[in-house]
Chain A
Amino acid sequence: GAGVSQSPSNKVTEKGKDVELRCDPISGHTALYWYRQSLGQGLEFLIYFQGNSAPDKSGLPSDRFSAERTGGSVSTLTIQRTQQEDSAVYLCASSPTSGIWDEQFFGPGTRLTVL
């Protein structure tokens, strides 16, 4: 079956512009996560959605970052007024439930470059 997909694969933008990154989770998965992977760093948690519950936004680095998940499926991560330090690979993952043992299935990521 289809895995997690993300678009675009690569995004180059100018400092100060807004960007939207899209994630299509595996059908039927109720949990969705966004992570950021900066050069030479591990993955940093950004935000987590579980079903219709309020999202866990505790990892968002600033109020320029926001995310939504429509209809419990597709999610969009928005970065406003992008800065050069926002350059990173943004990874999305989904899992069947939010169960602790559940495997998180990752998408291929979006590489964001802010000039």
Chain B
Amino acid sequence: AQTVTQSQPEMSVQEAETVTLSCTYDTSESDYYLFWYKQPPSRQMILVIRQEAYKQQNATENRFSVNFQKAAKSFSLKISDSQLGDAAMYFCAYRSGGSQGNLIFGKGTKLSVKP
């Protein structure tokens, strides 16, 4: 079974600085997709960024980028120029490429942004 591990329960960053959230996963599959979701206090999960495992190029979405290391099974999220609105829980998630179904989530990292 696939597992997703986020080893940092909490992180803190100064406004305008850069922060990296870690995620590792375990799988024997070669085809899969990885996602980062943000959950603000409103509880509504929002997709931040996604990556296809067969693509070597790291995905970027404005201030958000990933460092995808397939051999190391690592998928970290970098937030540049952090803003107060970035404060939230961040969840890393895995989806198998061989099935149509659910996401497998890590336990999340709570990010605080200091003004």
User: B103 at the A/B interface (Cβ < 8 Å)?
Assistant: yes
A56-B101, A98-B101, A100-B97 known; A109 vs B43 contact (CB < 8 Å): yes
Interchain CA distance A100-B102 in the complex, whole Å: 9
Contact B107 A106 (CB under 8 A): no
B13-21, B44-52, B56-64, B66-74 - the one binding chain A = B44-52
Contact B45 A42 (CB under 8 A): no
User: B105 at the A/B interface (Cβ < 8 Å)?
Assistant: yes
How many Å from the CB of A27 to the closest CB on chain B? 18
Q: Which of A35, A48, A104 has the most CB of B within 10 A?
A: A104
User: A99 at the A/B interface (Cβ < 8 Å)?
Assistant: yes
User: A14 at the A/B interface (Cβ < 8 Å)?
Assistant: no
Contact A45 B102 (CB under 8 A): yes
User: A62 at the A/B interface (Cβ < 8 Å)?
Assistant: no
Q: Mark B81-103, 1 if CB is under 8 A from A, else 0.
A: 00000000001010111001111
User: A107 at the A/B interface (Cβ < 8 Å)?
Assistant: yes
Contact B44 A104 (CB under 8 A): no
How many Å from the CB of A71 to the closest CB on chain B? 21
A93 CB contacts on chain B under 8 angstroms:
45
User: A89 at the A/B interface (Cβ < 8 Å)?
Assistant: yes
